[in-house]
Chains A and B, each alone.
Chain A
Amino acid sequence: MKRYVSIFIVLIVLVIGVFFVHQSSTSHLSMDIVNSIIKSKGINNVTWEDFEKYTYQDIGSGNYIYQYELPNGFYLYLSGSALDTPPTYIYIVDRNGNRIDLKK
């Protein structure tokens, strides 16, 4: 019986492990996360650090413009002249190029 219990426990641990590995490999930035950060902090208090764990590309020339990929062809952008102050502009661009300003 002890052997069955150990096998069962090992199986459970494996299942949980696979679940977490899967979660971490797919933890992309989503619209829900964006909404949740903005709601909890307030749009004017959002900082660059709030999104630092997600993959971005700095596409800005004079300014810093961090581009984050969202599902379904959408992108989130944080833009500003310095990284030690909150972004001046926060906006989302959809796949058709339509811009939705969240902070302006």
Chain B
Amino acid sequence: MKKFLSVIATMLTLTLMMSTVAFAANDTDDSVVYNGRSFKATELSQETLDWLEWYNGLSDDLKEMVSHEPLELASPTPCTTTTTVDATALDIDIPMPLETSLLPTSGYEPVYNPDYWNKDENIRRANCYAYAMDVLKTTEGKLQPGDPSGKRYTSLTKSAIEKAVKADGPYLGSGREITNSSKNATPGKNQYKVALVIAPNSDYHWYVQNRDGYWSHKQGYLKVSNVDASGKKITDPQSCDRNYGSGLNYSTFCGYYLVKYTNR
């Protein structure tokens, strides 16, 4: 038995020694390789080293897709002529509005009522689309353009979403009619204005104009809000901050639309 114990103890000691040697070897080896070129790790920033570790972990296919590289690893390039502009060329007086102007309303807009939409039983039954159409789903989930009419949109484009939404109209709540509009158009009886934006290759989003003239929105299952990505009250969805970071930037403004309650 003693023999058995000493064999195990020896094996454990050997394993520990080997791992220590391996770590030591890693510590002393201070060169790193990127695209066939060797760099001294001590001369690179921690940020670049982290990036390199991530990059070297990618498959070759993925590496080809990487469009960014840290400056410290960039290939030396010959000096070229730099295009410059006079700083004074940008010295333009930009007139600022003296007071906030709201876009025209009809008086038929939904009232901004976050308490209703944020209730536990409602919050996961409406995404931005359902909120914009002033409907709740009967079950939890995100309502998609085309679902109510039976043909979901298939591409994340203005035309595809617009087509699907217009087809949904009669099947939304007690009935809606969706038509194109413009920023300064005044909605008519039983109408209110909404706006569609797209984060390319990621997501779409809707804003609704409320009776007070400000705009509100509901991001997925999150709470209803009337402020933009910068925390400012939304007076116009076209000009508000729609960049939520982490690659989620609703940078494409698709347009304004009128939603009409057809059975009121």
Contact = CB atoms under 8 A, between A and B. Distances in A.
Contact of A31 (B57, B127, B201): B57
A61 B203 contact: yes
A13 interface: no
Contacts of A79: 201-203
A63 to B, nearest CB: 5
Interface string A46-88: 0000000000001111111101000111110101011000001
A96 B146 CA distance: 36
A83 to B, nearest CB: 9
Contact of A81 (B2, B54, B144): B144
Contact of B62 (A63, A72, A82, A102): A102
Contact of B53 (A1, A72, A88, A96): A72
B61 to A, nearest CB: 9
A101 B201 contact: yes
B54 A100 contact: no
B93 interface: no
Contact of A1 (B1, B51, B245): B1
| Chain A contact surface mostly | mixed
Contact of B50 (A4, A38, A72, A102): A72
B221 A58 contact: yes
A62 B247 contact: no
B58 A31 contact: yes
A104 B65 CA distance: 12
B202 A67 contact: no
A31 B221 contact: no
B129 interface: yes
A69 to B, nearest CB: 10
Nearest to A39: B59
B119 interface: no
Nearest to A31: B57
Interface in B43-83: 50-51, 53-54, 57-59, 62, 65-68
Interface string B190-229: 0000000000011111100000000001111100000000
A58 B220 contact: yes
B118 to A, nearest CB: 15
Contacts of B145: 62
Interface in B116-153: 127-129, 142, 144-145, 152-153
B248 interface: yes
B246 interface: yes
Given A35-B59, A61-B128, A100 B50 contact: no
B244 interface: yes
Contacts of B246: 59, 67, 75, 93, 97
Given A35-B57, A89-B201, A62 B67 contact: no
Interface of B: 1-2, 5, 8, 50-51, 53-54, 57-59, 62, 65-68, 127-129, 142, 144-145, 152-153, 156, 201-206, 217-221, 244-248
Interface of A: 1, 4-5, 8, 31-32, 35, 38-39, 58-65, 67, 71-75, 77, 79, 81-82, 88-89, 91, 93-94, 96-102, 104
Of all A-B residue pairs in the complex, the 4 with the closest CB atoms, nearest first, are: A93-B247, A98-B68, A62-B204, A61-B205
